[in-house]
Amino acid sequence: MNKDTRVSERDKSNRLTETDVLVVGGGVVGCCAAYYLARLGLDVVVIDRDGINDQASGVNAGSLHLMIVSRFFKSRDPLWIAGRNRLLPLVMASVETWRELAGELDRDIELVLDGGLMVAETDGQLRMLEEKAKEERSHGLDVEVVSGSDLRSIAPYFSERVIGAAFCPDEGKINPIMATGAVARGAERAGTRFLRSTELLALETTGDGFKALTDNGAIRCRRVVDAAGAGAATVAAMVGVRLPIETHARLMNVTEAAPPLVKHLVQHGDRMLSMKQAARGNVVIGGGWPAVFDHATGRPDVIKKSIKGNLGVARSVVPGLGPLRLLRTWGGMLTLTPDGDAILGEVPGVPGFYLAVPPNPGFTGAPICGRLLAERIAGKTSTFDLDAFSVERFAS
């Protein structure tokens, strides 16, 4: 190391930044929290060890899900039942928040709410969808089960194997790269400072807040928002908080661009499938097929078996996909709480430390999670009781 490099490293270690709120994580939840915090007049700094939207948010498929995922609905675990009862109102409010953001941000985020269809291929699957739709309607979600000619008029692209589907007109899709980038720019315009390539090394409580030690200097702040996604548990552990989350590697596929084919957000009522066609014509296909973590890079890597399985299910539901070439396959990350719902709010016993873990449909729920946290931190009245989303519900 030469003399100039030593001086540069010493300058970085001595650098001190001060702020009201430090947001750890530059994904969609962190950017949304920063956007609303800054608009409420707080001084905000966001740090990310990479760039903005570089990790899970940047490789997200961009689905806006409202209907309960079938495998969660089938669970009889009281924890999951309570979680989905909280989740439905939350994600419905979040899609409305995405609508508002689409009109506020500096570019088109390709928000399209043409509706979603969860399909059934057997009578048993159809009965399950009817039971699920009844519960969803009890929470105010607009869902109806359609079959026969009614289904064909909505989605003529389905194969004859599909005998019915639950239709929710408020589901849809968004461009995750454009959306998070636009939210980040909106936060910057409101005064947020983004420190990219800045890794959190340690977090210490002080008499009046926190001191964050990073590889780019120290940051003093009154409050911390842990929006670190897959790394959120590591950040929480720095202040003695156990965060019960699991991170799973999941696979996604995208085809070459094609003429309009799949109008809706498509899911399956029993098999692993999620599908939508992007604005440029590419069809994005996922649904929870497993990928693996590359231990050398720490990033997800794909599995050939999952690629074939995922595309096979997709073709059986939408035969028109058959002639399309596969353009790209990649691995993403899903961070899951024990009940599939968000973990939000200040941690009891650690004043000023806030958790920002989105629900299972993470991109769907991101803006409402950011908004609710910002309102709580700023002392504003909120439409949701954040105590219901506290990490304390897992204490037992």
Tens-digit pLDDT profile for residues 282-293 = 999 999 999 998
Helix (H, G, I), strand (E, B) or coil at 155: coil
Any domain includes 54 = yes
In a domain, 89, yes or no: no
Residues 206 and 329 in one domain: no
Number of domains comprising the chain: 3
- The rounded distance, in Å, linking the Cα atoms of 239 and 211 is 11
Do residue 350 and residue 368 come from a single domain? yes
Quote the pLDDT of residue 59. Answer: 53
Tens digit of each residue's pLDDT (9 = 90 or more) over 338-374: 999 999 999 999 999 999 999 999 999 999 999 999 9
CATH number of the domain where residue 323 is located: 3.30.9.10
pLDDT tens digits, one per residue of 41-75 = 999 999 999 877 665 444 567 899 999 999 889 98
- Give the separation between CA 148 and CA 118, rounded to whole angstroms: 15
Q: Is residue 77, in this structure, part of any structural domain at all?
A: no
- Give 74-100 pLDDT, tens digit per residue: 988 998 888 888 999 999 999 999 999
| Domain assignment of residue 223, given as a range | 14-58+177-243+339-394
Integer CA distances (angstroms), 205 to 212, 238, 246, 311, 376, in order: 9, 10, 26, 49, 20
- Average pLDDT for the chain: 92
pTM of the full structure: 0.93
pLDDT digits (tens, 9 = 90+) for 127-151: 999 999 999 999 999 999 999 999 9
Do 137 and 282 lie in one domain? The reply is no
Distance (Å, rounded) from C-alpha 85 to C-alpha 87?
A: 6
* Shared domain check, 385 and 261: no
The answer to whether the CB of 337 falls within 8 A of the CB of 343 is yes
CATH of the domain at 45: 3.50.50.60
Token pair for 24: 């750890």
Is the pLDDT assigned to residue 10 strictly greater than 60? no
pLDDT at 163 over 60: yes
332 lies in the same domain as 260: yes
Q: Which of 304, 319, 336 lies at the terminal end of a domain, its last residue?
A: 336
The verdict on 203 and 191 lying in the same domain is yes
State whether 238 and 347 are in the same domain. Answer: yes
